[in-house]
Structure 1
Amino acid sequence: MRSLIIVCIMALMFFSCGEEQRKKSDSERSAVEESLTAEDTKETSGIILFFGNSLTAGMGLEPDEAFPAIIQNKLDSLNLDYKVINAGLSGETTAGGKNRLSWVLKQDIEVFVLELGANDGLRGIPLEETRANLQEIIDFVRRKNPETKIILTGMQIPPNLGQDYTSGFKKIFPELAEKNDIYLIPFLLEDVAGVPELNQKDGIHPTADGQKILADNVWEVLKQAINQ
């Protein structure tokens, strides 16, 4: 695991709820809606939905540079008949994600990748509230389709709010994964957080090369889910 300094630098990534993000939220939402209603989505054998924040949305990059798009290219290269939907929304929290599930889950989803929680931690939202929201999202997905495979992406935060909060936050993800018997990506930003050349000029969001590493981190777990 990287040093505490690297994790602290990584934290800046999630303070991106400013005016630029708010302006982009509507376009991101429109892109998701367009993907959900696309004819090729209706005809494909399986849908993989990435449900997250600005990391998933690919903030500051072209849509085809975000890691969900890279995953789609990987699937296509392997002749695997899956359609990837990027349902990332910049600045999203677990509460916000919970409230928009009903319009995102318009079709049966084969794999649901849940990438939320870090914004909660950096805002000091009570740990039990974050945990409960994530659990509600998992429960909602399973009520919609019990056969959907769920992947939870782990995240870490800096110690600004104290060691107890920091360590408690980190534990949420593996504990939920074990409790619900779902897949876990231990740390989505592994090998990217705090590496200057893998982050954009603002020092906040991953570059296109950084997103490629995120895609690798995701693929290590996703390939297990689709091959099960």
Structure 2
Amino acid sequence: MMNRFVFIAQMLLSVVLLASCNSEKKENAEQTGSVKAVAKTPASAKKTIVFFGNSLTAGYGLDDPSQAFAGLIQKRIDSLGLNYKVINAGVSGETTSGGNSRIDWLLKQPLDIFVLELGGNDGLRGIPVSETKKNLQAILDKVHAKYPDAKLVLAGMQIPPNMGQKYASEFKAVYAEIAKANNLTLIPFLLEGVGGESKLNLPDGIHPTEEGHKILAENVWLRIKDLL
């Protein structure tokens, strides 16, 4: 009889130990799962910065487009451990009219910061400043309507006085006027320190070299860093 009680006691102890072990394994598994979930959260919850522009944004003429200023901004963001991803939506030759037509498709994806870099090709073609202004405003209106909490940034542009000093002055003023009217962040002149510097531009004298894009990236970073 005593042996029977001992046997039963041993069996009960085994059951308790097994249940305790299984419970501990389950708890460890849940904790591991929680850690994995936390580890995955930053990547899946990254905010988005869209650079919407022309050949300057696209990195025209560079062997590696990721060396254009938008790509350099991503590298800066990664080095600082900020939870943002950059989307380069630059298209060479794009005018403000073309951008206004293209923006609807782009807005199908969420965005948190929108950097508008257009107008340079308008100026080179002598498109009326009023038309450029209307298109830039229309683009910003569409972005704000779809994502009202998105932060808007406008990259200012200037052109040589080929079309006349009056046209060049009015063109330059458009960006400040739009920035003020919309209370948005303005990069006064994207090509500051690069425009007109032959050593920082490709032979066409218009598109920056890799070294030139490093300066553009700094011009942009100074204005957007506080938005991140």
TM-score (norm 2): 0.79
Report the alpha carbon displacement of residue 80 of structure 1 after superposing the two structures with TM. Answer: 0.2
Q: Match of 1:63, as an amino acid? A: P
1:41 to partner: Cα distance: 11
**Alpha-carbon distance, 1:114 to partner:** 0.2
Mean Cα deviation higher: 178-187 or 204-213: 204-213
Q: Which residue of 1 aligns with 2:31?
A: none
2:52 maps to what in 1? 51
CA distance in 2 between partners of 1:164 and 1:224 (Å): 35
Please list the CA deviations of residues 59-112 of structure 1 after superposition, one character each: whole Å capped at 9, or x if unmatched: 011122111110000000000010100000000000000000111122221100
* 1:87–1:41 distance in 2 versus 1, CA, 3 Å: farther
Residue number among 165, 170, 173 corresponding to 1:171 in the alignment: 173
For structure 2, the residue ranges without an aligned partner over 5 or more in a row are 1-40
* 2:46 match: secondary structure: coil
SS in 2 for 1:190: coil
Return the letter of the residue paired with 1:184.
L
Distance in 2, matches of 1:204 and 1:159, equals 15
Q: Count residues in correspondence.
A: 187
Deviations 1:131-166 (A, max 9, x none): 000000010000011001010001111112222211
Match of 1:112? 114
Equivalent in 91, 96, 99 of residue 98 of structure 2:
96
The structure-2 alpha-carbon separation of the partners of 1:145 and 1:42, relative to structure 1 and needing over 3 Å to count, comes to farther
CA contact (8 A) 1:41 1:83 kept: no
Gaps of 5+ in 1: 1-39
Identity across matched positions, percent: 58
Q: Which has the higher contact order (CA 8 A, sep 6+)?
A: 1
CA-based RMSD of the aligned residues comes to: 1.6
Partner SS, residue 115 of structure 2: strand
Q: How does 1:115-126 map to 2 (within 5 A)?
A: 115-126=117-128
Alignment of 1:149-228 (within 5 A): 149-226=151-228
Alpha-carbon displacement from aligned partner over 1:33-68 (angstroms, at most 9, x marks no partner): xxxxxxx99824200000000000000111221111
The letter for the 2-side match of 1:136 is A
Contact 1:44–1:83 (Cα < 8 Å) also in 2: no
Tell me, what secondary structure is at the counterpart of 2:93?
Answer: coil
**TM-score, scaled relative to structure 1:** 0.79
Alpha-carbon separation, structure 2, partners of 1:54 and 1:194: 17
1:122/1:195 CA distance change after superposition, 3 Å: same
